[in-house]
Amino acid sequence: MNDLLKNLNEKQREAVMKTEGPVMAIAGAGSGKTSVLTSRIAYLIMELGVDPHRILALTFTNKAANEMKERIRSHPAYDVQEPSWVSTFHAMCVRILRKHHVALGYRRNFQILDDDDTTQLVKAKLKEMNVDLKMFKVKEVKGMIQKIKTDRADVSSYDAGVQVVLSAAYRRYQETLVNNHLMDFDDLLLNTIKLFKENEEIRQQYEDYFQYVLIDEFQDTNNIQYDMVKLILGKNRNIFIVGDEDQSIYKFRGANIRNITKFKNDFKGYHLVLLEENYRSTNTILDAANQVICRNKTRIPKNLFSKKEKGEKITFFKGTTSRDEVEYVALEVMKNVRKGYCYNDFAILYRANNISRQFEDVFMQKHIPYRIYGNTSFFKRREIKDLTAYLRLIMESDDEVTFERVVTTPRRGIGKVTLDKLKNFRNAAGYTMYESVERCEEILSKSAKAKLVAFTEQIKGFRKLLNEISFNELIDRILTDSGYLQDLENDDKKDVRIENLMEFKTMLAENEKTYAEYSREEMLMFLLEEVTLKSEEKQSDVKDGVTMLTLHAAKGLEFRVIFIVNLESGIFPSSRVDSIADLEEERRLMYVGITRAKEKLYLTNSQVRQTFGEINQTIDSMFIHEIEDELIDVKGYSEYVKSRTISIPSKSHEKNKQMIKRKKANLDNYKENDLNKGDKVEHSKFGPGIVITIVGDNATIAFESPYGIKTLLKDHKAIKKL
């Protein structure tokens, strides 16, 4: 036993050795929860003599399940057969359903639909019903179907028109699955629950078989996962859950943080263990994390601490412009590398994927190696490649690849057969693609030619606009007139793709001023060359490089140095926040970001930011000011910007200065509001609201839908305290 527990602290040992009855381990970030889980499994087998096959350990990803198996195998005191039921929820369900398929009327070799398959099937059912896909978007109907399944949503809660369509679509969708012996991911869970509810004998087999049940990342469970675990357990109370409410950041995937409360109610007399000792970060970093997360009310109170040193202060850098912010991050990376750090030691965390573009741009210029974690490099993303193809075609590019990509994006009723005939005709006659379209009546039908001519005329129209309107306006016209934006409506990643397209607009606006001395055609040519060169940069195989990733993707990872960037109101916390619950989830996301850092933590933003061609004054994220000043070293307008010319174009800069002057002048008209957290207020535009936080002169107020959470000057004349 000594070998099993010798590397564990007192609380970890308690979590391992309390084997009987329900146990809840609230494991703070970096507190060694995986060590606790694997040691507990080893303890059950080695010390209590439990059959390894009668232990069920569930987690959420194959990676986590494999890591747990490997950790058990490599445990220094473990020398018996590894448990066979260490798996994801879905893998466990597949295993059970394959064994008992007859009871549900399925073939043993039933097929499982992935997410793309599911989308296509929903689309097919809506088309069968002759539903207008502009009114009933595939993505939204698919989401409703999933909600009906996972959350048992009542169809009657939707509008009458939606009820009719949704009920019919759901019925047809499910009938197709059942009749063809298919299951989607939700069905794997639901059919397992159905199996247990309808076949008490089968359920009893598993209740008797599994002596101990362990669940990792319990805060990420959804309703049906929780119900399924309860069914498997039956009267068995030997359940061990490990999780952390403070790291519950997957509400958008269906995770229900309230499952921890359900557990407390359903398993009376549970034993609670708080794992608060952190093995990752310095105490300064942990103090900052504690100060941020303690403002959330939906949590079991705990306070992370470490036996490590206090560590360096957190650096808060405020650049004059967004470019200054990015330059500062790049220069800090280079400075620390000269001190002995590796590029792998650094991670840049951001709220949304489109933010990576500005960092990729500067890192390429400075030859700093990097990798995009869990995503494609900005310039290789599908929507960016689509848009650049349009721009190339406008520049009279004559390559077949570009022409084919654009003419089929979105689909215009021009298929592969038509394009193959056109390309063969072009190659035989030596024409350009445009000339081939004009002369193709001999090889193509009138209908096919008409579609091609309409397309080429549209491209010519865009080319004419190149010299008449700004790049931003041109992009808007391309995306709208071509039907590209409309086509995105049924894309599951619509919002992300649009954000990336808008970021591309910002990049063009930035560079439009750089090439101002050239003609519009030359300017666009240079910009496209830059994009092409950037897209060819191979970052995926970088062995030592800075990691760029979203805050969501960072969960479970750690780095010596972390930069959390673009910490501005509307970016992080997100502008989509419209409730206290949403704000608390954003704060948990900040907590996750902070606790990824082992040694150094940087928080950065800028005073003004260019967004989609417009320069706007920013407001600090509230999360910065939730950290006590004594922990922060402010670097605003640091040595990195003092020696450089500020990169705001004079015209825009003057406009911005005037805007700031007007704002300051308006202060004379403000009245002092003695606002405090929790006060009820009335805004002349946004209506009634409740004050969430007061930071300096700013008040963060939760207004009723559709306005949501806003950060405003607390003394603004539009705000009236009730």
pLDDT at 304 over 90: yes
Q: What is the pLDDT of residue 667?
A: 37
pLDDT one-digit tens code per residue, 237-271: 999 999 998 998 888 777 888 888 899 999 999 99
Q: Which of 13, 14, 18, 34 is catalytic?
A: 34
Output the pLDDT for position 704. Answer: 67
Q: Say whether pLDDT at 112 is over 80.
A: yes
Give residue 46's pLDDT.
86
682 or 158, higher pLDDT: 682
* Amino acid 157: pLDDT: 67
The catalytic residue among 82, 184, 187, 217 is 217
442-479 pLDDT, tens digit per residue, is: 788 888 888 888 888 898 899 889 888 888 888 889 99
Q: For residue 713, which of 108, 256, 681 has the smallest C-alpha distance?
A: 681
The residue with greater pLDDT, 504 or 283, is 283
Q: Which of 184, 186, 187, 216 is catalytic?
A: 216
Under the banding of pLDDT at 50, 70 and 90, the label for residue 564 is: very high
pLDDT at position 18, please? 95
In the block, tokens 């509810």 appear at 197
| Residue that has been written with the tokens 């590397």 in this structure | 7
568 three-class SS: strand
Q: pLDDT-based confidence at 579, cuts 50/70/90?
A: confident
Task: Count other C-beta atoms under 10 Å from residue 37's C-beta.
Answer: 26
What is the Cα–Cα distance from 344 to 333, expressed in whole angstroms? 10
CA–CA separation, 162 and 126 (whole Å):
12
Rounded to the nearest 10 degrees, the angle between the axes of helix 185-198 and helix 223-233 is 30
Active site residue 219: no
Q: At what angle do helices 89-99 and 185-198 cross, to 10 degrees?
A: 50
Query: What gap in Å lies between CA 347 and CA 362, rounded to an integer?
Result: 15
Known active-site residue 596 = yes
At 404, the pLDDT band (50, 70, 90 cuts) reads: confident
Least confident of 75-84, 185-194, 284-293: 75-84
Q: Which residue pairs from 197-200 have beta carbons closer than 8 angstroms and sit at least 24 positions apart in sequence? A: 197/231, 198/103, 199/100, 199/103
pLDDT per position as a tens digit, 629-677: 999 999 865 443 333 333 333 333 444 444 434 434 443 443 456 787 7
Q: Is 247 a catalytic residue?
A: yes
Instruction: For residue range 698-708, list pLDDT tens digits in order.
Output: 777 877 656 66
* 164-168, 187-191, 437-441, range with the lowest pLDDT: 437-441
pLDDT of residue 377: 73
Convert the pLDDT of each residue in 206-234 to its tens digit.
Answer: 999 999 999 999 998 988 899 999 999 99
pLDDT score for 637: 54
User: Measured in Å, how far apart are the chain's first and last C-alpha atoms?
Assistant: 63
Q: Which of 33, 203, 371, 714 is catalytic?
A: 33
**Residue for token digits 């010319």?**
645
pLDDT, residue 111, reads 83
pLDDT-above-90 percentage for the chain: 36
Residues 6+ apart with CB under 8 A from 304: 28, 29, 30, 31, 276, 277, 278, 281, 286, 289, 290, 595
Tell me the per-residue pLDDT of 520-545, one tens digit each, with 9 for 90 and over: 887 777 777 667 656 555 555 567 89
Tell me, yes or no, if 216 is annotated catalytic.
Answer: yes
Evaluate whether 199 touches 44 at the Cβ level (below 8 Å): no
pTM for the whole structure: 0.71
pLDDT band at 573 (very low <50, low <70, confident <90, very high): very high
pLDDT at 196 over 90: yes
Active site residue 321: no
Residue 144 pLDDT level (bands cut at 50, 70, 90): confident
DSSP 172-204: HHHHHHHHTTEE-HHHHHHHHHHHHHH-HHHHH
Taking the C-alpha atoms of residue 696 and residue 587, their distance in angstroms, rounded to an integer, is 19
Catalytic position from the list 596, 598, 600, 710:
596
The Cβ-side half-sphere exposure at 577, using a 13 Å CA radius, reads: 24
Q: How far apart are CA 291 and CA 627, in angstroms?
A: 6
- Whole-number pLDDT of residue 398: 63
Q: Is 139 a catalytic residue?
A: no
Mean pLDDT (the chain, rounded): 84
What are 51-101's pLDDT values in tens digits?
Answer: 999 999 998 887 788 888 888 777 666 666 677 898 889 889 989 998 999
